[in-house]
Structure 1
């Protein structure tokens, strides 16, 4: 998983015409149309037969010209849209070679038949492009699993092939030394013999499939007249006779080593890789899912920096395909993944893929064993040099929650203090009002008492008079 890295997306051209062709040729529907043309071309090739009429041959020729024109237009459209980036894609290079060969086959057909290759062969090779449709068909997982197992087995099969060639080389030299002049009979013919190195390799290749080895065994063990003539003067000093004592261990050991060991090693390697690929499919995640992940990644990271911004994470995970997709609302799930967040609020592609894989497999919150905990893990080995994590999604959410709680507590405290101050001011105002009222009441009572005293004094004076 970590061995894969996101590649830079193909740059979109600046010219309007090139942009239109770029959008057209990179559309999946365009690929499906080209695949349909390849299938139809294959059907037309199947209609060819022996002793066909001139009219039928002429019609098939026009149809072939039509398909060559379509594939040539496709090639030109991609060349205009992608410029020199066209040749960075292996399928495009393959298509370009096939188109050039097809054009040469149409214009220089007779010359190519005489000196190079039959143009019909190029039309057959063109059918190999059908293999691209397997990537477009989501339901062809069985076929893709077989092809993936075969592709993974190629390095091991190549090594076994080299070992087999070494064994055949040794036995070919050995056979040329002892059986170069054996009389041609049974399995030894003008083609299958030990007279030359190529013929020896052909005989040994035939015997490694356990086909015809009994006839070769019979010819090499003919060491008595009348099956051979020991009186013929040849460099072998045995005439054209074989040697039973040497032939038996020579052939038996070769058949055992090649047929029973080497060939079965081919089968064992393929079956092992197929079993592994089948287990990956049962597990739910395959290399196709990881390829899909990085294809979607290119849309958000066209420069291949391996980072996206944290605020793009929710949209990116929502646009993925099953089984890695987490539909919206997915904020809480993404927080629980505890993904590392680097400087400038960036998240690494491998961290996201690792978190989504653990979430799908249900191993996100499993406890780590002691042996795994004690093993040092170099987390930066699959990351870029700019990978400097400073926090995680879970820690970020915890910090946000704590900051919100602190802000809420601060606001509550400010509101409480404001209310207390307002209540205190209100109480103080009421106290002042009460004091003012009380002071006015005292003044009023004094004035009344003074008035009463004056009235009493006046009344007393009046009575005395």
Structure 2
């Protein structure tokens, strides 16, 4: 099938990359002002190609096309781009143009696997996020209680303490926050080290581990589907061979019956003469 062929997929992927390059060039005012009309023509061409892709896939897959979330996303982006083409909402049209780049995900199966594993991990990530909020809140209250006088800029109140903890979790200049406090409070080492260990190493590894675990389970499911398909193909081949064998046997029976009829006719002819 042409729509599902590798050649067609690679062509659409190439158009997505070229469309992304054009969108990137439009962000430079000097280049955009010099080639604005050309960029608009390219945009119409890419939109026409993506529209044709959607139409062909709808014709081939029919209702099954809209059961796939990625196909539905592509359809909405293309349809919205056509709807806002002549509108005054330029910012919305630009956002839709950028969203076309996400068609790369729907075209590359490995990217779809990663995004699928990420969505599968959302319930667990939500629980981890709740646990992280609790950890941040506890350490924020402790920091505002013990370090407010030593560093009022960073730990003057709960909100300042939470912002400082977020900065420490991203390792953004956290050493300069820690050193002035450590000069007056040696026990602050325990505070900072335990927070970094819990908020960064433990929580981040939990999130990454959950995503990797889901990503590892997806190929196993795919391999099971492939194995099932191969088994069905093997069974079909066996059934086909049996049908062919039955046809050969029927052909032989017809040949034997024909010979027997000819012999009977010959004997009858001889008896009459």
Q: CA deviation at 1:129?
A: 1.4
**1:37 aligned onto 2:5:** no
Asked if residue 62 in structure 1 is aligned to residue 30 in structure 2, the reply is no
Summarize the alignment of residues 305-384 of structure 1 with structure 2, pairs less than 5 Å apart.
Answer: 320=229, 322=230, 325-326=233-234, 329-331=237-239
- Report matched runs for 1:226-241 at 5 Å: none
What is the TM-score normalised by the length of structure 2? Answer: 0.62
Closer/same/farther in 2, CA of residues 103 and 203 from structure 1, 3 Å limit: farther
What runs of 5+ residues in structure 2 fail to find an aligned partner? 243-273
**Do residues 128 (structure 1) and 107 (structure 2) align?**
no
Q: Deviations over 1:388-443 (max 9, x none)?
A: xxxxxxxxxxxxxxxxxxxxxxxxxxxxxxxxxxxxxxxxxxxxxxxxxxxxxxxx
Alpha-carbon RMSD? 4.4
- The answer for the alignment partner of 2:127 in structure 1 is 159
Change (3 A) 1:219 1:58: farther
Question: Which structure's relative contact order is higher, taking Cα pairs within 8 Å and 6+ residues apart?
Answer: 2
Structure 1's 151 and 85: CA in aligned 2 closer, same or farther, altered over 3 A?
Answer: closer
Match of 1:95 among 65, 68, 74: 74
For residue 90 of structure 1, report the CA deviation from its aligned partner.
Answer: 1.7
1:28 maps onto 2:13 in alignment: no
1:182-261 equivalence runs, <5 A? 182-184=151-153, 188=154, 195=157, 197=159, 200-221=161-182, 244=185, 247-261=188-202
Displacement, 1:59?
Answer: 0.8
8 Å contact from structure 2 (residues 121, 210) kept in 1: yes
The offset of 1:49, in angstroms, is: 5.9
Cα gap change, 1:55/1:205 in structure 2, threshold over 3 Å: closer, same or farther?
same
Structure-1-length-normalised TM-score: 0.40
Please tell me whether Structure 1 or Structure 2 has the larger radius of gyration of its CA atoms: 1
Cα deviations across residues 291-336 of structure 1 (Å, max 9, x unaligned)? 568xxxxxxxxxxxxxxxxxxxxxxx8xx4x4764176425999xx
Kindly provide the CA deviation profile for residues 7-32 of structure 1, in whole angstroms up to 9, marking residues without a partner as x: xxxxxxxxxxxxxxxx99xx425963
Shift of 1:54: 2.4
- The structure where helix makes up a greater share of residues is 2
CA–CA distance in structure 2, aligned partners of residues 167 and 333 of structure 1: 66
Is 2:222 aligned against 1:288?
yes
